[in-house]
Amino acid sequence: MAGRVARKSIYQRSPAPELSFVLEEATLRRPVGGQMALHRQIEHILELAQLRNVEIQVMPMTRWDHPGTGGRIQVLKFGDGTAVGRMDDEFNGRPVSEPKQLRILELSYGIIRAEAMTARESMAFIEQLLGET
């Protein structure tokens, strides 16, 4: 519980970090923990998406061949200009901080974002899913 509260405080920092997520449609449809748990998770996603510093997009299941199919991509950029990133199927899944390696991750994430629904389309889609659960 303490970890959850600590993670939640990240969204309330000042200045708030800019956060961008692309979620696979399949993960929004899979009722792990049951339908009620899925309903609460979708509500929480919509709640987070209302924050000015959070952008959520959905990757439709019809777009099955994109750079994210090999696993998650994470890039963290810090206020001092440094960055670190990782991708499950690149660089043996290890964290990287070399500019060329980070550029590969950023380009991959850019392709994913371009192929996903827009943030507005994604929110409408997630709201529709909420009504179905």
Q: What is the pLDDT of residue 24?
A: 93
Q: Do 84 and 99 form a contact (C-beta atoms < 8 A)?
A: no
Q: Do 42 and 33 form a contact (C-beta atoms < 8 A)?
A: no
- For residues 78 and 94, give the distance between their C-alpha atoms in angstroms, rounded to a whole number: 19
Tell me the backbone φ, ψ of residue 74, rounded to 5 degrees.
-130, 130
- For residues 35 and 42, give the distance between their C-alpha atoms in angstroms, rounded to a whole number: 11
Which parts of the chain register pLDDT below 70?
A: none
Q: What is the pLDDT of residue 111?
A: 93
CB atoms within 10 A of CB 59: 23
Which amino acid belongs to residue 18?
E
Grouping H, G, I as helix, E, B as strand and the rest as coil, residue 124 is helix
Q: What is the pLDDT of residue 104?
A: 92
pTM of the model: 0.86
Specify the pairing of strand 54-59 against strand 19-24: parallel
